[in-house]
Amino acid sequence: MSPGCSAYEGTIESQSTDYGIAPDSIELRASPHRKNLTINGTKRGVASNTAVHELLECPVCMKVMYPPIQQCPNGHTLCSKCQLKIRCCPICRHELGNIRCLALERVAESLELPCKYQVVGCQDIFPYHGRLRHEQNCRFRPYNCPYAGAECHVSGDIPFLMAHLKSDHKVDMHDGSTFNHRYVKSNPQDVENATWMLTVFNCYGYQFCLHFEAFNLGTAPVYMAFIRFMGDDHDARKFTYTLEVGAHGRKLTWQGIPRSIRDSHTKVRDSMDGLIIQRNIALFFSGGNKQELKLKVAGRIWKEEA
Ligand SMILES: [Zn+2]
Ligand SMILES: [Zn+2]
Ligand SMILES: [Zn+2]
Ligand SMILES: [Zn+2]
């Protein structure tokens, strides 16, 4: 053991926050290999490869290692991310150099691995390299927090996000598929500091986010309302919604399909997939002296029968 190697140095990223994705080059390198897998039918080999699977787990971060896999001078392996953060081997405490473990990399390429979201329900098994691409799009991957008012980096499954919206963002929650929501703002001239609101509706066993916000569309200030679905795109498409705003015998109506919260709030807004109200119309609907925005947005969500 070398001197000064009695402790880890630096900090290790926690496992739950890092959904890092490997660079494309790794995917490309894998493609000729996938053919072999199909020909040889390696699915049979999966169970007997448990020992190799364990070898592929980095002893520091516990994640599956991808090339370049590193090793200490005594042959203990670890992932390259962790190798950058610690100076000594986590097993034998020998000082780490920059030694690559090509043999394990080659063995790894012949493996099939379960998706890392297996614990939350994904049953799929993938060739070593193809697994990363799948995990980027796995339907069991965590959702980002749908709250739009500030940068929020919380992610998790829907029940977790519901609890988070309630306790950390103090979001309004309602039960039911019809609603009548009033938006009041005392200074409607001010759209620079994006005004937004999020309300969550609970119906049909799912949750829907009603977004309302003011922003500049080009140079024109507008208000926009739209609904996002707390779930994946496939389930979102089973629903339809309408939004209505009006007064004095005029009415604007929007009918749409809720967008999955996989699509970011800004993406949905920028695609204008919702009810858009020009400011002069909004002020007209507000009545009064145009000093105050007072909009009543009514809506309904329903399930399309297949
Ligand atoms: Zn590691
Ligand atoms: Zn070692
Ligand atoms: Zn998966
Ligand atoms: Zn949040």
Is residue 15's pLDDT more than 80?
Answer: no
Distance 153 CA to ligand 4 centre (A): 7
SS3 192: coil
Q: What are 271-283's pLDDT values in tens digits?
A: 999 999 998 899 8
| End residue of a domain, out of 135, 158, 183 | 135
Q: Can you give the residue range of the structural domain that contains 260?
A: 5-20+142-303
pTM: 0.70
Q: Flag whether pLDDT at 129 surpasses 60.
A: yes
Do 153 and 284 fall within a single domain? Answer: yes
Of 245, 200, 267, the closest CA to residue 227 belongs to 200
CA of 97 to the centre of ligand 2 (A): 11
CA angle 31, 32, 38 (to 5 degrees): 90
Mean pLDDT of all residues belonging to the chain? 81
Residue-wise pLDDT tens digits, 141-160? 999 999 976 678 999 999 99
Ligand 4 centroid–CA 306 distance in Å is 33
- DSSP class per residue in 130-149: HHHHHHHH-TTSPEEP---S
Are 54 and 11 part of one and the same domain?
no
Q: Which ligand is nearest to the CA of 13?
A: 1
Ligand that comes closest to the CA of residue 78: 1
- For residue range 239-289, what is the model confidence (pLDDT) as tens digits? 999 999 999 899 999 999 999 999 998 899 999 999 999 988 998 998 877
Same domain, 168 and 259: yes
196 and 165 share one domain: yes
Are residues 189 and 295 located together in one domain of the fold?
yes
pLDDT digits (tens, 9 = 90+) for 107-123: 888 888 889 898 888 99
pLDDT at residue 2 in the model: 46
Taking the centre of ligand 3 as the mean of its atom positions, its distance from the CA of residue 142, in whole angstroms, is 11
The CATH number for 277's domain is 2.60.210.10
- Say how far apart CA 85 and CA 23 lie, in whole Å: 20
Between 189 and 228, where is the model more confident?
228
pLDDT of 10 strictly over 60: no
